[in-house]
Structure 1
């Protein structure tokens, strides 16, 4: 899993899972470009790790094109994510739905589109890992927008694997269970939600950021050279029920 001499872009790097992935990639020898919505949000991670920060709006095609068109890459982690609002379908807000889809699905699509162009032109192959969710694999109460966005991301993973495989570019998804980040704590940290959920999970606990980062780095490495088009649950066995 040595990633020396490889340049990896990580979107959502200012978030918990993204930052853990950046740290592990650095430890694996990669040259990392940490992407996020602003330089201010990226500054603590850049100062800690010494990686290059790259701020752009991944919901804007023009912004993604400007950021990535001439950026040589060997790998991409589409980790930027928006949880939206957990609540009943009948009360869902269309603006929230559109925002979740714009970040989780359209953003990953745009980054993959422009990053893969430069990867193809370089002729060295590469790997892309999309950070999806267990919500793409099973129905979770109140997760209409989030689940839809991640299910679409899994479908994009399979299509991209099919189209980019001839260029030796592998594309996979990881589908984590809940990681107790600030984004998730307000809902999943409530006892009436947490206790029934964990009682159905064979391993009986939430995941850590590092437990998500490790499979991501594996899928970027040559240790996973024959793996593409895979949707990999990292969920303590929840979706095996």
Structure 2
């Protein structure tokens, strides 16, 4: 069964990691997909090629999510290509690990602008289009287990993920009357570009794996199913929710 048959799905940060997995997962379920990405041209092109190999339409738009105009441009181009916007997956994010006491202002501000401002503007632009269309829609934001727990070298990052989680709760209230559902997924430790260097240390990786009841770290594909579910009509009465996708890590942090 194709859960997103006939839908159009927009994904930010779609060239690698969770965004790429979500984009391809949506295509496998029958959606046409537009991805936004920041810099990885070859990865974006290969993602589009994989989606098209599944028989779906796709395009990639390069742009910085920290800029409000990127969001309006992305949505406008998706409408021009596909005629509508049914789903927004707000995934783009960065986490340059750094200590708290000497956090450079530019690192703090860039993290806020990409993770929080980017999510806000993308979700707002998609919601405006969905309201204009008049037939509802779904927004899924990629938050993090870091919205619920602290991180010594993530004092700039964890507040943004708590903010994304909170944004979906408030947006669910604001947009419910338009039949637009807003939910977040909270990944645990997923092997992506964000933490590749941090987990290169075998001892640290073993330690992190030991905290997960399922006995392994996550892969981007582990998020594709939950995101597709929340985007689909199977979740028609789910809004304002936050779904942990962490192999049980959160409940085992004791």
Q: Same fold (TM over 0.5)?
A: yes
Task: Give the aligned partner of residue 88 of structure 1.
Answer: 99
Task: Give the aligned partner of residue 225 of structure 1.
Answer: 236
Residue 147 of structure 1 and its aligned partner are, at CA, apart by: 0.7
Task: Give the aligned partner of residue 149 of structure 2.
Answer: 138
- 1:16-165 equivalence runs, <5 A: 16-37=17-38, 40-41=41-42, 42-50=44-52, 51-69=58-76, 71=79, 72-84=84-96, 86-165=97-176
The answer as to 2:199 corresponding to 1:197 is no
Residue 193 of structure 1 and its aligned partner are, at CA, apart by: 2.5
Residue 39 of structure 1 and its aligned partner are, at CA, apart by: 7.9
Q: Is the 8 A contact 2:18 2:223 kept in 1?
A: yes
CA distance in 2, matches of 1:189, 1:119: 42
CA distance in 2, matches of 1:63, 1:131: 19
The answer as to 2:189 corresponding to 1:188 is no
Structure 2 residue matching 1:14: 3-state secondary structure: coil
Structure with bigger helix share is: 1
Q: Is the 8 A contact 2:144 2:186 kept in 1?
A: yes
Moved over 3 A (4+): none
Task: Give the aligned partner of residue 207 of structure 1.
Answer: 218
Number of paired residues?
240
Task: Give the aligned partner of residue 55 of structure 2.
Answer: none
Structure 2 residue matching 1:77: 3-state secondary structure: strand
Task: Give the aligned partner of residue 4 of structure 2.
Answer: 3
Structure 2 residue matching 1:183: 3-state secondary structure: coil
The answer as to 2:169 corresponding to 1:167 is no
CA distance in 2, matches of 1:160, 1:133: 18
Residue 91 of structure 1 and its aligned partner are, at CA, apart by: 2.1
Which sections of structure 1, spanning at least 5 residues, go unmatched? none
The verdict on how the C-alpha distance between 1:168 and 1:151 changes in structure 2, with shifts beyond 3 A counting, is same
Instruction: Report the TM-score, using the length of structure 1 for normalisation.
Output: 0.94
Which sections of structure 2, spanning at least 5 residues, go unmatched? 53-57
Residue 192 of structure 1 and its aligned partner are, at CA, apart by: 3.8
The answer as to 2:241 corresponding to 1:239 is no
